Amino acid sequence: MRRVLIAGGAGFFGRLVGELLRDMGIPSAVAGRSGQIVMDIEDRASLRAALRRGDVIVDAAGPFQSRTAALVEVACDIGADVIDLNESLVHARRIEALADRVRECGIAVFSTCSAVSAVAAALLRISGIARPARLSALVAPASRETAHTGTLRALLASVGVPVEVWRGGRFVSALGWREARAFSLPPRRAYLVASALPLTLPRVWPSLCDVDCWTDTGTPMGNGILALAARSSALRALAERALPLGGALARMIGTRRGAFAVEIEDETGQVARLALTAARRSYLIAAAPAALAARALAQGSSRERGIVPVDRQVAADELVAYLGTLGISLVRA
């Protein structure tokens, strides 16, 4: 059994991955400035002192948009595998730029191994659509359970700022929270946000011409407040200062039911809709892919090397079956 470390293991999603691994019978250690394994995720000397050849490192130390690629670079030198829960397009590009080095070193890097990218890829595989032309993803969190500082800051990061989407087969800039659309499964009105999807999915499915990601706060008035903040720098600054109050309100009056959904259109215009949804603990959707990937690496059942494409990070049927054991259901329309 290989050693599994969780960077950011004291945070919300890091703790979840650790709990899932423990339930699988896979021991893990929290790695960080005050963890069981002491290291600074951005300090190369600290990383070299803490890591060992053969380690499996689950990186849940967000916010990823402000991170460097130091962990992957040191992992290349030492010979450790890395799984990250990143969904920042900026950070995904940093990792992609290391593709040749990662391949030459013979390690495996499972980048964006979370909702949105890995789960969207799994649902696309399950849809049976071989040549998708469009994919829109919906993140509909159970705000009563997930409205914590880190998740709220990640949400606010897209408000009123340029985000890149994949439209017409190329990257296009749009303003986050300035565009809205309706989803029918589940029925939600959602707003455009940043994600790594425009990079990760067309790499696997070149037929994709349009890829974007949308979210609904799941809190009464939450969408409207952020949509207004997207149109005014003063209101955005006010929203940032009010994050603690907003989080407290979301935890009191927000929804407990959460979902992750995709709407996929093929080249003939036929549309498939799939959603993973749960009345409680839907946030496990984001942690499950990393936990499954870490188990496979720790037990030696994964032979992947290089930067692993999102559709090969975890088997789609395995992911859905595992989520089912956690009370999360797959719904199709």
Domain of 296, CATH number, reads 3.40.50.720
State the pLDDT at residue 176.
Answer: 97
State the pLDDT at residue 7.
Answer: 97
Compute CA 36 distance to the chain's CA centroid, rounded to the nearest angstrom: 25
Domain of 215, CATH number, reads 3.30.360.10
Condensed to tens digits (0 to 9), the pLDDT of residues 20-33 reads: 999 999 999 999 98
3-state secondary structure of 86: coil
Q: Which pairing describes strands 329-332 and 56-59: parallel, antiparallel, or unpaired?
A: unpaired
Q: What is the mean pLDDT of residues 201-216?
A: 98
Checking 301-307 for CB contacts under 8 A at 24+ apart, the result is: 302/108, 304/108, 304/110, 305/103, 305/106, 305/107, 305/108, 306/99, 306/102, 306/103, 306/108, 306/109, 307/95, 307/96, 307/98, 307/99, 307/102, 307/103, 307/109, 307/111
Please tell me the distance from the alpha carbon of residue 148 to that of residue 145, in angstroms, as a whole number: 8
Is residue 250 within 8 Å of 141, Cβ to Cβ? no
Please tell me the distance from the alpha carbon of residue 57 to that of residue 52, in angstroms, as a whole number: 10
Phi, psi of 83 (to 5 degrees): -125, 125
Q: What is the mean pLDDT of residues 222-245?
A: 92
DSSP state letters, 38-72: E--TT-HHHHHHH--TT-EEEE----GGG--SHHH
* Residues 110 and 121 occupy one common structural domain: no
Q: How many domains does the chain have?
A: 2
Please tell me the distance from the alpha carbon of residue 307 to that of residue 72, in angstroms, as a whole number: 10
Condensed to tens digits (0 to 9), the pLDDT of residues 133-191 reads: 999 999 999 999 998 888 888 888 999 999 999 999 999 999 999 999 999 999 999 99
* Residues 75 and 222 occupy one common structural domain: no
Condensed to tens digits (0 to 9), the pLDDT of residues 40-51 reads: 999 999 999 999
Peptide bond into 198 cis (omega under 30): no
Q: What is the mean pLDDT of residues 104-133?
A: 97
* Residues 239 and 121 occupy one common structural domain: yes
Token pair for 65: 């948009």
DSSP state letters, 204-253: H-TT--EEEEEE---STTHHHHHHHHTT-HHHHHHHHHTHHHHHHHHHHH
State the pLDDT at residue 311.
Answer: 98
* Residues 149 and 218 occupy one common structural domain: yes
- Of 23, 6, 3, the C-alpha closest to 83 is 6
The residue range of the domain holding 220 is: 117-278
* Residues 128 and 260 occupy one common structural domain: yes
Question: CB-based contacts of 239: which residues, under 8 Å, 6+ apart?
Answer: 156, 159, 225, 226, 229, 246
Residue 253: how many other CB atoms lie within 10 Å: 14
Q: What is the mean pLDDT of residues 222-229?
A: 94
Band of the pLDDT at 15, cuts 50, 70, 90? very high
Dihedral (CA of 37, 306, 85, 118) sign? negative
* Residues 136 and 226 occupy one common structural domain: yes
HSE on the CB side for 50, CA within 13 Å?
28
* Residues 128 and 267 occupy one common structural domain: yes
Phi, psi of 236 (to 5 degrees): -65, -45
Compute CA 123 distance to the chain's CA centroid, rounded to the nearest angstrom: 14
Please tell me the distance from the alpha carbon of residue 228 to that of residue 291, in angstroms, as a whole number: 37
Condensed to tens digits (0 to 9), the pLDDT of residues 56-109 reads: 999 999 899 999 999 999 999 999 999 999 999 999 999 999 999 999 999 999
* Residues 64 and 137 occupy one common structural domain: no
State the pLDDT at residue 141.
Answer: 94
* Residues 200 and 176 occupy one common structural domain: yes
* Residues 62 and 149 occupy one common structural domain: no
DSSP state letters, 137-188: EEEE--HHHH--HHHHHHHHTTTTSEEEEEETTEEEEEETTS-EEEEETTEE
Mean pLDDT, the chain, whole residue set: 96
* Residues 138 and 208 occupy one common structural domain: yes
Band of the pLDDT at 297, cuts 50, 70, 90? very high
Is residue 214 within 8 Å of 138, Cβ to Cβ? yes
3-state secondary structure of 297: helix
Condensed to tens digits (0 to 9), the pLDDT of residues 300-332 reads: 999 999 999 999 999 999 999 999 999 999 999
